[in-house]
Structure 1
Amino acid sequence: MNPLFCGVYAVAVTPFQKDGTFDYESAKKNLDWLIENGVQGVCILGATGEYQSISDEEHMEYVKEIVPYIKDRTSVIVGASRERPEDVVKLVKNIKACGAHAAMVLPSFYCHPAQDEIVEHYRYIEEQTEFPIVAYNNPGSAGIEIGQEAFRKILALPYTAIVKESSGTMQKLTEVLLDAPKEVSVFCGCDNLAYESFADGACGWISMLANVAPRQCVELYRSVCLEKDLEKGMQIYKEILPALNVLESFPKPVQALKYGLGKKGLNGGFVRRPRMELTGEEKSYVERAMQFEKLR
């Protein structure tokens, strides 16, 4: 485990105004609330933060505004996935200059790179930026899975600081945990495998649910990872599992979280195209299924 990176990182939503511009005031209030409620870190501009719906210029603008606002109060990871590694490098250099602590990067998507090309993607980015990188395995988003041998080579790169494992299989997480050197942290990336991942040895969680239930997410981490109290952790897990399952199965998880923030007196803002706002029927489902009244 890298001692600089452990615990619950809320992968924060990005509030937009109705006209599509950033709502910085709401973003800062949401982040203040997350920090006040004990999260160990924040991940901005992840998939939950709609990173693919903004331009490179907007990405850099948002990072320049938000990272300095929170970097001295909590650990900050910034999503920087793009198809072209040159674009990733440009974004990561800005992330580094603004004082964030790591950048999260998927393999190149859509082109379905071969395993040696995935390794080269990370090697090039780390060589060009000399900045801590989160190697992100998410076959559902990238369209390709990082294989064991490729992972071993990526784990050996000098700036690989964290692995976010989002394949959805415990076997893959165990494989990564067994291969990871002591200076690399392994994080859960599937919300409804958080308990199992902590019990297996993951030391962190990049969590969607932490947007609306930061205290319970942190309590789960502390119970299983720090206190080694699996029974206590399971009781907390049972409280939040319905909401975790919704976020991993409902096709509009970002909208669900933004709606849930309204229940907390906060503002998740609007989404950007191609996403659409929740219908009345969808809001009723999300409210019933996620059980917001039980989340804290």
Structure 2
Amino acid sequence: MNEKFKGIYAVAVTPFKENGEFDLEQSKKNLDWLIENGVHGVCILGATGEYQSISDEEHMNYVREIVPYINGRVSVIVGASRERPEDVVKLVQNIKSCGADAAMVLSPFYCHPAQDEIVKFYHYVMDETDFPIVVYNNPGSAGVELEQDTYNEILKHPRAAIVKESSGDMHKLTQVLNDAPDTTSVFCGCDNLAFESFAAGACGWICMLANVAPRDCVDLYEAVCEEKDLEKGREIYKRILPSLDVLESFPKPVQALKHLLGCKGLNGGYVRKPRYELTKEEKAFVERAMAPEKIQ
């Protein structure tokens, strides 16, 4: 485990105004609330933060505004996924200059690179930036899965600081935990596998639910990873698992989180196209299925 990276990282939503501009003040209010409720870190401009829907220039401007606002209070990871490695490097260099702690990078998507190409992609990014990188395995988003030999080759690089394992395969997570060097932290990347991942040895969780239930997510981590109390952790997990299942199965998880922030007295803002706001029926389903009054 890399001692610098552990615990609960909320993969924060990005509030937009109705005209599509960033709502920076609301972003800051939401992040203040997360920090006040004990998260160990935040991840901005991940998939939950709609990074796919903003330009490189917008990405860099948002990072320049938000990272210094958070920096020094909790750890900050910034998503920097693009298909072209040169574009990733450009974004990571800006992230680095703004004082973030790491950049999260998905393997190239759509082009379905071969495993040796994925290794070269990550090594190129880490060589060019000399900055801690989150190696992100999400075959559902990238269209290709990191094989174990590929993981091992990538993690030989000293800048491979964290693995976010989002394949949904507990055996894969166990393999990574068994093989990862001591300098790399292994994080859960599937919301509804958090308890199992912690019990297996994962030391962190980049999670969606923490947007609206940061205290519950922190309590789960502390129970299983720090107190080694599986029964206590199981009781917390049992209560929040319906919400976690919704976030991993409902086709509009970003909108769901933004709506629930409103139910909590905060404001997730609008979404960017191609996403659209929830219908009245969808809002009712989210409120019924996730029961915001039962999570904290």
> TM-score band, normalised by the shorter chain?
over 0.9
Spell out the pairing of 1:171-190 with structure 2 (5 A cutoff). Answer: 171-190=171-190
**Aligned match of 1:2:** 2
- Counterpart residue type for residue 106 of structure 1: L
2: distance between equivalents of 1:231 and 1:169? 23
- Secondary structure at the counterpart of residue 90 of structure 2: helix
Query: Which residue does the alignment assign to 1:160?
Result: 160
Q: Where does 1:191-270 land on structure 2 (aligned, <5 Å)?
A: 191-270=191-270
> Match for 2:280: what amino acid?
G
Instruction: Give the corresponding residue for 1:145.
Output: 145
User: Which residue is 1:50 aligned to?
Assistant: 50
Q: Note the residue ranges of structure 1 that are not aligned, 5 or more in a row.
A: none
Indicate the residue corresponding to 2:68 in structure 1: 68
Q: Residue deviations 1:217-269, cap 9 Å, x none? A: 00000000000000000000011001000000000000000001001111100
Partner residue in 2 for 1:118: 118
TM-score by length of 1: 1.00
**Offset of residue 64 of structure 1:** 0.1
**CA offset digits 1:131-183 (Å, max 9, x no partner):** 00000000000000000111001111110000000000100100100110111
Q: Which residue of 1 aligns with 2:31?
A: 31
- After superposition, where does 1:86-125 map in structure 2 within 5 Å? 86-125=86-125
Partners of 2:126 and 2:9 in 1: CA distance: 22
Structure 1 counterpart of 2:146, which letter? I
Q: Find the residue that maps to 1:72 and give its secondary structure.
A: coil
Q: Deviation digits for residues 16-42 of structure 1, max 9, x if unmatched?
A: 000000000100000000000000000
* Unmatched runs of 5 consecutive residues or more in structure 2: none
Aligned counterparts of 1:19 and 1:162: Cα–Cα separation in 2: 36
Task: Please state whether the residue corresponding to 1:38 is helix, strand or coil.
Answer: coil
**Equivalent residue, structure 1, for 2:11:** 11
Matches of 1:158 and 1:82 in 2, distance apart? 22
Distance in 2 between the 1:189 and 1:91 partners?
22
Q: How many residues align?
A: 296
Paired AA for residue 64 in structure 2: K
TM-score, length basis structure 2: 1.00
Q: Which amino acid aligns with 2:247?
A: L
SS at match of 1:215: helix
